[in-house]
A and B are shown apart, each in its own frame.
Chain A
């Protein structure tokens, strides 16, 4: 059974810095099954990236996704104050059809 592991659990950075978040699957997965979400306190998650590297509608260009096989990365090129949140990766698969990683908290340093 494929499991998603996100690292680090917490990432402390300053505005303007580059953020690199990792999501590792326990088995190789197809790129088009991997997505990233952002969640701010008191809000529902928001789709950022689908099919590993495609930005969702309205998502700024500073967000990018990459990776293949078992290792995937979400990169935020230059952090804005509103980017400090929790980020989840999600895998779509046979069954159960959706699993989420445990999340990475991106906090202001």
Chain B
């Protein structure tokens, strides 16, 4: 079936980087953009950026410009989101989602930033 499967939970120290993966299956990976959305505990959904897996083109929300990098490996149908210079406010669940419809979501990856 069509699905996105994300990597497991991460615990990082402030200032470190985290790289989350999102593996697509059941559809042609390069046919749909991949977006990243995060959600702090008890908070709403925050769009971070998108990537076109075919071209590698990306677009990032202004809030994350300079700290986020979205890449892909088409040979294994996997997208990646790397966030650097982590701070405690980055503690959240990070989701990948297929667009334009956001009809398929990954299960989420908990990233905890703590000293």
- Point out residues on A near B: beta carbons under 8 Å: 35, 37, 39, 44-47, 50, 56-57, 88, 90, 92, 95-103
Contact = CB atoms under 8 A, between A and B. Distances in A.
Given A35-B101, A50-B101, 16 more contacts: A39-B45, A44-B95, A44-B105, A44-B107, A45-B102, A45-B105, A47-B101, A47-B102, A47-B103, A50-B103, A56-B101, A95-B59, A97-B59, A99-B47, A100-B47, A101-B44
A97 B105 contact: no
Given A44-B95, A92-B100, A98 B105 contact: no
B101 A96 contact: no
A44 B106 contact: yes
Contacts of A44: 95, 97, 105-108
B95 A96 contact: no
Contacts of A102: 44
A56 B103 CA distance: 8
Contacts of B61: 96
Contact of A96 (B47, B106, B108): B47
A98 B47 contact: yes
B44 A90 contact: no
Nearest to B61: A96
B80 interface: no
A37 B102 contact: yes
Contact of B44 (A95, A98, A103): A103
Interface string B61-89: 11000000000000000000000000000
A45 B95 CA distance: 9
B42 to A, nearest CB: 10
Nearest to A90: B102
A92 B108 CA distance: 22
A38 to B, nearest CB: 12
Nearest to A47: B103
Tell which of A90, A98, A100 has the most Cβ of chain B within 10 Å. Answer: A98
Nearest to A35: B102
Contacts of A88: 44-45
A97 B45 CA distance: 14
